[in-house]
Structure 1
Amino acid sequence: MAKLRPVSEELIIKRIRLENPWWDTSEIPSNYAPLKRRLYFDQLYQQITLLSVRRATVLMGPRRVGKTVILYQVIQQLIADGVPPRKICFLSIDAPIYNNISLEELLALCKKALNDTTTDHLYVIFDEIQYLKNWEEHLKSMVDLYFEVRFVVSGSAAAALKLKSNESGAGRFTDFMLPPLTFQEYLHLKDLTYLLRQEAYQWLDTRPPQILDVTDDWDTLNGHFLAYINFGGYPEVIFNKDIQQDPGRFIRSDIIDKVLLRDLPSLYGIRDVQELNSMFNVIAYNSGNEFNLESLSQESGVDKQTIRKYLEYLEAAFLIKILYPVGINTKRFQRDSRFKIYLTNPSMRCALFAPISFTDDHFGQMVETAIVAQWLHRGDVPLHFAAWPGGEVDLVMVTPNQKPLFVLEIKWSNQYVAHPGKLKSLMKYAKENKKKVVWITSIDKVHHKTYEGIDCCYIPAASYCFSVGKHSFADRITDELIKLLDS
């Protein structure tokens, strides 16, 4: 039998040089150079270049949200800021040629490819790090050993990366979550933010004016809101008409199936992947609905104990978000036997089934899903829905002492602008909690009306979605920077 030959060092070095064209040209590949930057770019770049904090950056997020693109843009900006191009190394760990090579060996090969024995002021980027077994142990060792090197790693198996980063990277890694697009980012990337302007409304006599994002053309804005719900979670999709004609082939096969059929089974040892897939399809079709273990078991054919585990896995993979109820008194229930489940990105439903329209019976649920998805960019916020026998309120944020910070009823309708009394559950909840201000979404009406001592503030759903995404993003930047500087 002929002896099997390993991949030669010469061939590996040739591949490394191929992956780093800026060593010779000072430019990143032409297919990445013109792409517009996501709003998260500045925050990530600041974290990577904060050299006073000696940690590796772990860039994670769902598949196809633009992690590799943003890494190339980081390289572009490093060069623009004066970092020598030959001090930046980029390797795609998913390339078969790097199979079973440790990070330290790869660093040594990079140095050989550069004909440079030093590692001073070196930026090393490992893309798709999850393809290296025990990567977190390798990386932790590298951070300790090469204190003059700035390490950045990325991966699409978000659940696995988060788990291993938390277990092994304490004090050595700083996570950076790149989520799907917000509605604000969708408009930003498509150069449509000009549609909105800020306007002040003096609705509440005892408070400063309400500053709202409004437009002179609600039909156009709502048209883009519909496109966002159907296609807007992924940067590549919003610019590609071919993908929009067949989103299932792209999003389902390249994003959802890889998580459900490969990432989660390999991480948690799931054997029956079809069972997991069946349950996720039920959830996706009914995103925004209230579930309990019994109903979910009946619909999906999965036993209740297994459902508990699957829900935990799906939430860890950033595919779903579970909200638990509070009672009419805003107190949590002792047993969470009921809950709402939302897709973290509304366009996943479109990919699995079909694009939705304004008149679709499920459109209201997808508006609700889109709004909850914007809040998720803020991080771990105490969102709940309120529920009691005969009543429910869509969204409440609860303070640590179990008081409602804000109350929101999500509607895709203008009828409640003139008839707030029809919102009986909302009014009952507000009175019970002595809440003087409530918010209600509409289709295209900006309005204020006082009803039985309660200030009812109406804002179009698209405008609210934009504003929540914008403020969640701004608040996250502040929070993450404080954490980084305090570490």
Structure 2
Amino acid sequence: MNVRITANTVERTTYLNWIESLRDKHVIKVVTGVRRSGKSTLLKLYRQRLVAQGIPEQRIITVDLDLFENEELREKHALHQYVLSRMQPDGMNYIFIDEAQRCPGFEDAVESLYARDFTDVYVTGSNAHMLSSELATLLSGRFMTIPVLPLSFAEFSLASTEPDTQRRFYQYLEWGGFPEMLHFADNPQSMSSYLEGVYNTVLVNDVSERHAIRDMTALKRISRYMFAHAGSLVSANKIQGALTSAGHKISQPTVDNYIDYLTDGMLFYEAQRYNLKGKDYLKSLAKYYAVDTGLRNYVTGYRSEDIGHMVENIVYLELIRRRYPVLVGNIEGREVDFVVKEQYANAYIQVALTIHDAETLNRETASLRAIGGYEPRYIFALDTPATSSEDGIRYVNIIDWLLGKDTVLP
């Protein structure tokens, strides 16, 4: 894989600009994301921006709770006192607490710091439920979540020297977008080892230890099932049946809990089903998308027959990266891959590898035609130019869209 690193990082301008737009606003900035998605590096780049803009370094206070030397700060009173002792009285203090979930009760310390004058607080963590639910208990309406995903294809392309866009896309599809993967780009064995480390760290630190899971075998089997079926409709009942057939007895409530734990650890994102006719949510079945296709391929093995699901996974991640709420549509028994909730209307998307197969094209367009109305409808495919069909369906080239060359759903 031909990849270059610029100053050891890929500057993630979209995220940096988003964070900077919230600077000095009286809300806590909560930066979440799966481990190794680039949260710490992102805030390091942001701190460099602050210094470049004239903020004195003594007014920038950083605590990384993952570091062993900060172990004593994993107690809320010690954390609070450490930050207080370094605050400057003559201007805004920029406070960064990295991997806050390592400190039980961190939200009490954060609340106290937030309540003081001249504080701008930034918190990162690798557990979605902990950060959102526990902060919301104390600070409802006073914090904003900034979810950070691994590199987008556009960001990956900035670091790649592979001139062929198609080949570069399939590299991204296979190995994913964890930023540090770029350092091992010419060594597939090292890339696999790196992904193994990420996966095991999330399972142990962010899932098993936090929820005191005793049956690690079941957790790994459920995780593997969800990776293998990413982009397919699944349920706790289906997973329970699969494990029971394989000789591993487990209750459905336990499976439900384990699914929640894996999504809390941000290995997966849930897309709920939505009845387009009745305009309500369907409780049975949902789709779960992997946080990274490279991680998926590490767990399940790369298989060419899964490319369709992986491409759909990449489109889903890009939609939520662009801050769109995304659902899975159902209309009269037909599936619509994505219902994208825009401010004034919905947009409907079918994802396909090709539009040159008549059977596939008829199937994808049938679901969109069944929706009716005037809301935008799209078929995203790898082999189509940007065109419109006679029935108002817009064809979008996936790679062009990922690179920002097609401006639908920007």
* TM-score computed with the length of structure 1 as normaliser: 0.71
Structure 1 distance, partners of 2:216, 2:254, is 12
2:305 to 353, 361, 365: 361
The answer as to whether partners of 1:33 and 1:73 remain within 8 angstroms in 2 is no
Secondary structure at the aligned position of 1:174 is classed as strand
The answer as to whether partners of 1:382 and 1:399 remain within 8 angstroms in 2 is no
Within a 5 Å distance, the mapping from 1:416-431 to structure 2 comes to 416=357, 419=358, 423-431=361-369
User: Residue 263 of structure 1 aligns with which residue?
Assistant: 206
Residue 78 to residue 386, structure 1, CA distance change in 2 (3 Å) = same
User: Residue 247 of structure 2 aligns with which residue?
Assistant: none
Q: How many equivalent pairs are there?
A: 395
Residue 154 to residue 438, structure 1, CA distance change in 2 (3 Å) = closer
Aligned-residue RMSD, C-alpha: 3.3
Stretch of structure 1 that moved more, 366-375 or 152-161:
152-161
Q: Which amino acid aligns with 1:278?
A: R
1:279 aligns with 2:255: no
User: Residue 37 of structure 1 aligns with which residue?
Assistant: 11
1:68 aligns with 2:40: yes
Residue 157 to residue 248, structure 1, CA distance change in 2 (3 Å) = farther
The answer as to whether partners of 1:330 and 1:398 remain within 8 angstroms in 2 is no
Structure 1 distance, partners of 2:156, 2:194, is 18
User: Residue 231 of structure 1 aligns with which residue?
Assistant: 175
Structure 1 residue runs of 5 or longer lacking an equivalent are: 1-30, 112-116, 196-219, 475-487
Residue 332 (structure 1) shift: 5.4
Q: Which amino acid aligns with 2:96?
A: I
The answer as to whether partners of 2:91 and 2:118 remain within 8 angstroms in 1 is yes
Secondary structure at the aligned position of 1:367 is classed as helix
Residue 108 to residue 455, structure 1, CA distance change in 2 (3 Å) = closer
1:87 aligns with 2:59: yes
Within a 5 Å distance, the mapping from 1:67-466 to structure 2 comes to 67-101=39-73, 102-110=78-86, 118=89, 120-144=91-115, 146-190=116-160, 220-241=164-185, 244-254=188-198, 256-301=199-244, 302-326=250-274, 330-331=277-278, 336-356=283-303, 360-379=304-323, 381-386=325-330, 388-389=332-333, 391-397=334-340, 405-416=346-357, 419=358, 423-435=361-373, 438-446=377-385, 448=387, 450=389, 454-466=391-403
Residue 73 to residue 361, structure 1, CA distance change in 2 (3 Å) = same
Residue 287 (structure 1) shift: 1.3
The answer as to whether partners of 1:396 and 1:405 remain within 8 angstroms in 2 is yes
Residue 438 (structure 1) shift: 4.2
Structure 2 distance, partners of 1:314, 1:246, is 25
Identity, in percent, stands at 19
Structure 2 distance, partners of 1:264, 1:281, is 14
Secondary structure at the aligned position of 1:337 is classed as strand
Stretch of structure 1 that moved more, 229-238 or 182-191:
182-191
The answer as to whether partners of 1:58 and 1:152 remain within 8 angstroms in 2 is yes
Structure 2 distance, partners of 1:127, 1:335, is 37
Structure 2 distance, partners of 1:399, 1:67, is 27
Residue 32 to residue 128, structure 1, CA distance change in 2 (3 Å) = farther
Residue 239 (structure 1) shift: 4.1
Residue 180 (structure 1) shift: 1.9
Structure 2 distance, partners of 1:459, 1:342, is 21
Residue 362 (structure 1) shift: 0.8
Residue 270 to residue 85, structure 1, CA distance change in 2 (3 Å) = same
Residue 370 (structure 1) shift: 0.9
Stretch of structure 1 that moved more, 333-342 or 71-80:
333-342
Residue 137 (structure 1) shift: 0.5
Residue 276 (structure 1) shift: 1.6
Structure 1 distance, partners of 2:406, 2:263, is 20
Residue 314 (structure 1) shift: 2.4
The answer as to whether partners of 1:248 and 1:352 remain within 8 angstroms in 2 is no
Residue 139 to residue 345, structure 1, CA distance change in 2 (3 Å) = same
The answer as to whether partners of 1:323 and 1:385 remain within 8 angstroms in 2 is no
Question: Residue deviations 1:355-375, cap 9 Å, x none?
Answer: 45xxx1111111111111111
The answer as to whether partners of 1:180 and 1:233 remain within 8 angstroms in 2 is yes
Secondary structure at the aligned position of 1:444 is classed as coil
Structure 2 residue runs of 5 or longer lacking an equivalent are: 245-249
Secondary structure at the aligned position of 2:130 is classed as helix
Residue 385 to residue 252, structure 1, CA distance change in 2 (3 Å) = farther
The answer as to whether partners of 1:344 and 1:373 remain within 8 angstroms in 2 is yes
Residue 349 to residue 469, structure 1, CA distance change in 2 (3 Å) = farther
The answer as to whether partners of 2:62 and 2:95 remain within 8 angstroms in 1 is yes
Residue 248 to residue 119, structure 1, CA distance change in 2 (3 Å) = farther
Residue 137 to residue 449, structure 1, CA distance change in 2 (3 Å) = closer
Residue 230 (structure 1) shift: 2.0
Q: Which has the larger radius of gyration?
A: 1
Structure 2 distance, partners of 1:110, 1:334, is 49
Residue 228 to residue 435, structure 1, CA distance change in 2 (3 Å) = farther
Residue 229 (structure 1) shift: 1.6
Residue 333 (structure 1) shift: 6.7
Residue 464 to residue 399, structure 1, CA distance change in 2 (3 Å) = closer
Q: Which amino acid aligns with 1:303?
A: S
